[in-house]
């Protein structure tokens, strides 16, 4: 294994830099030395895989997977999309984990102190694995916006956190999904760690009325892109794209 199967270098100008003073916690948690560039070795070109047998039937249904006495309060939504790589090829078998606040903007976590109420029927976690075409979907309620201690009056826009495992540890990614039309997106110190407006827009899920379930749930489409592999011209068969 030499050049083939290594990944396109990460575009660090598209991602947020480590040091973003408007997001105060980043100030002491940001490395200051330059990162050491390392062409992928086998250690980064491999990665764990997770079989569909790891999942339970309600893992992608946040409306039901914690419910005790009934459905959680909130706007019922379906989130769906595809996981692709930078070559626009689907990534099958990708494990997605997602977590979110409830409709009032409250997380179920022992360190969470926001005064909005917990919902006894909402846990806020789910997971799924993409199918052969890289598709995924899950059902949940729309999370609320919430205030957080950064500035005196900073609020997070409604969002869902995503953790994604591709086929290699080099593709490992955590990001957040935002909702089309939310004015709070453009006031958020965490969103604004991303320097490029187009890059922010890549994280805004589109409302999709065509996939709405009538009289039941709205649908949002959220595609995720992981790093792509280089081609193997002259060396082997064309594997990367």
Partner 1 sequence: MVQKLDRLKESPSQTAGPYVHIGAMPNWVEITGVWKEDLGLVLVGPETKGERVVVKGHIYDGGGTPLKDALVEIWQADAQGLYNSPRERRGKADPHFTGWGRQPTDGVTGEYKFETIKPGCVPYRDGRLMAPHITFWIVARGINIGLHTRMYFGDEEAANAECPVLARIEHKVRVPTLIASRSEENGMPTYTFDIHLQGEKETVFFDI
Among 116, 184, 207, 225, binds partner 1 (CB under 8 A): 225
3-state secondary structure of 19: coil
Among 94, 141, 219, 224, binds partner 1 (CB under 8 A): 224
Burial 194-212 (b: 16+ CB within 10 A, else e): beeeeebeebbbeebeeee
Nearer to partner 1, 184 or 225 (CB): 225
Listed in sequence order, the residues at least 6 apart from 232 whose beta carbon sits closer than 8 Å to its beta carbon are: 3, 4, 5, 238, 239, 240
* Residues 102, 62 contacting (CB under 8 angstroms): no
Q: Which residues pair with 99 in a beta bridge?
A: 125, 161
Interface of this chain with partner 1, residues 129 to 158, rule: CB under 8 A? none
Decide if 156 is catalytic: yes
Q: By CB under 8 A, is residue 40 in contact with partner 1? A: yes
Terminal-residue alpha carbon distance, the chain: 17
- The minimum distance between CB 24 and partner 1, in angstroms, equals 8
Nearer to partner 1, 80 or 98 (CB): 98
Decide if 107 is catalytic: yes
Nearer to partner 1, 84 or 141 (CB): 84
Give the count of beta carbons closer than 10 Å to the beta carbon of residue 37: 7
What span, in angstroms and rounded, lies between the C-alpha atoms of 171 and 3? 17
Nearer to partner 1, 37 or 69 (CB): 37
- The minimum distance between CB 183 and partner 1, in angstroms, equals 18
From 106, 127, 159, 227, the catalytic residue: 159
Strands 76-85 vs 218-221: parallel, antiparallel or unpaired? parallel
From 80, 146, 178, 220, the catalytic residue: 146
Among 79, 91, 194, 217, binds partner 1 (CB under 8 A): 194
Q: By CB under 8 A, is residue 56 in contact with partner 1? A: yes
What span, in angstroms and rounded, lies between the C-alpha atoms of 29 and 19? 8
Q: Which two tokens stand for residue 62?
A: 């946040």
Stretch of residues binding partner 1 (CB under 8 A), selected from 69-77, 83-91, 134-142, 211-219: 83-91
Hey, which residues are catalytic here?
107, 146, 156, 159, 161
């Amino acid at each position: 294994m030499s050049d083939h199967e290594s990944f396109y270098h990460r575009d660090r100008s598209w991602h947020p830099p480590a040091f973003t003073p408007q997001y105060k916690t980043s100030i002491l948690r940001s490395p200051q030395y330059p990162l050491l560039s390392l062409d992928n070795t086998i250690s980064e070109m491999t990665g764990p895989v997770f079989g569909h047998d790891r999942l339970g039937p309600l893992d992608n249904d946040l409306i039901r997977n914690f419910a005790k006495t009934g459905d959680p309060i909130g706007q019922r939504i379906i989130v769906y999309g595809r996981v692709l790589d930078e070559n626009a090829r689907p990534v099958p078998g990708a494990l997605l984990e997602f977590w979110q606040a409830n409709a009032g903007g409250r997380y179920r976590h022992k360190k969470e102190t926001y005064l909005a109420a917990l919902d006894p029927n909402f846990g806020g976690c789910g997971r799924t694995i993409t199918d052969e075409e890289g598709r995924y979907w899950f059902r949940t309620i729309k999370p609320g916006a919430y205030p957080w201690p950064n500035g005196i009056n900073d609020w997070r826009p409604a969002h869902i956190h995503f953790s994604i495992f591709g086929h290699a540890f080099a593709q490992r990614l955590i990001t957040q999904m935002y909702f089309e039309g939310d004015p709070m997106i453009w006031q958020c110190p965490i969103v604004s760690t991303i320097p490029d407006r187009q890059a922010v827009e890549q994280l805004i899920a589109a409302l999709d009325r065509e996939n709405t379930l009538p009289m039941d749930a709205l649908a949002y489409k959220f595609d995720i892109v992981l790093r792509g592999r280089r081609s193997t011209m002259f060396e082997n068969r064309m594997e990367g794209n």
